[in-house]
Amino acid sequence: MRRLRVGAFFLFALWFMLCSSLFPRSYSIFAAPARSEPQLQFTFVPHIPTLDLGTAPATLDLGPLGTPAPAVTAAPTLGPGQAFQEGDSLPAITRPGLLENPFGYSEIVGRPGLYLVWSTDEQGNRSYYVITESNRYYEGITAAQERLLQAQMEFDEQAPPIRIAFGAAGTVIFGFLAVGCGAGALGSAAGVVTSPAAVPLTACATASAGLAAGSFKSGLDAAGALDGYNTLVDQLSQEVEGYFMQFPYVSP
């Protein structure tokens, strides 16, 4: 309704100005009678309402679109002189079963002429190193491993721990049997009338004593073999550990 009123008033004002410019003042139907009084000035001020559109909506932050691509880190090239510590990801080797030994070496899978060697120090910490056949300590490490493998083969054949267990058990069992038989034989011999059991008791005591002595000797020999094996492993381990201490100062 307000807009209609404004439009009508605007058309009326336009028509009024056109009539005033086309017709002389004296002939205009809107002309005021001639008098000396000053003429009234009319000023048209249109009133145009403003449209309230409200506040602009806030910007919606959708964040980054999609999942950012992970950073690509180039894997280090495996080569001579590369070192690893216990817990690191090791390269695949052709003889993984040898890793059970305190020291050793094995060729790296897919890298002919490149070897992974390892050693364990006195505290049980293991270190790994990559070398080639041209390394001055390569022959020493390979020779030490061959001696260890030979000693392990002999150790498995002789089975010192089992021999020690059987020797100890035989010594105890046959020893008690020899003592029992010997006491029975002495008791029979001390009687007024000779007991018929004296002879077999004496033979039992003699045989049991011999078996007890044999068991003891077998167990003692097995203990010596076990000690010799452990001594050899310690010596070879120290030898290889000495090589490892020199690796940073020699060509890999």
- What's the whole-number mean pLDDT along residues 34-57? 54
In order, the DSSP letters of 84-97 are: EETTSPPPPBS-GG
Q: Which domain holds residue 103?
A: 83-153
Same domain as 231, residue 175: yes
Chain segment 198-225, per-residue pLDDT in tens:
777 788 888 888 998 999 999 999 999 9
Chain segment 125-160, per-residue pLDDT in tens:
899 999 998 888 888 999 999 999 999 999 999 899
**Residue 57 domain-assigned (yes or no):** no
- What CA–CA distance (Å, rounded) separates 163 from 225? 10
Provide the token pair at 225.
């073999």
Q: How would residue 226 be classed by pLDDT, with cut points 50, 70 and 90?
A: very high
The yes-or-no verdict on residue 38 having pLDDT over 60 is no
How many domains is the chain partitioned into structurally? 2
∠ Cα 143 123 160 (to 5°)? 60
Same domain as 174, residue 110: no
Same domain as 189, residue 135: no
The yes-or-no verdict on residue 162 having pLDDT over 50 is yes
Same domain as 185, residue 222: yes
- What CA–CA distance (Å, rounded) separates 157 from 198? 43
- What CA–CA distance (Å, rounded) separates 88 from 128? 9
The yes-or-no verdict on residue 29 having pLDDT over 50 is no
The yes-or-no verdict on residue 57 having pLDDT over 80 is no
**Residue 6 domain-assigned (yes or no):** no
Chain segment 98-131, per-residue pLDDT in tens:
999 999 999 999 999 999 999 988 888 899 999 9
Same domain as 164, residue 135: no
**Residue 61 domain-assigned (yes or no):** no
**Residue 62 domain-assigned (yes or no):** no
Q: How would residue 169 be classed by pLDDT, with cut points 50, 70 and 90?
A: very high
Same domain as 89, residue 147: yes
- What CA–CA distance (Å, rounded) separates 90 from 12? 98
Same domain as 187, residue 207: yes
Q: Which of 153, 169, 196 is the last residue of a domain?
A: 153
User: Does the pTM exceed 0.85?
Assistant: no
Same domain as 220, residue 162: yes
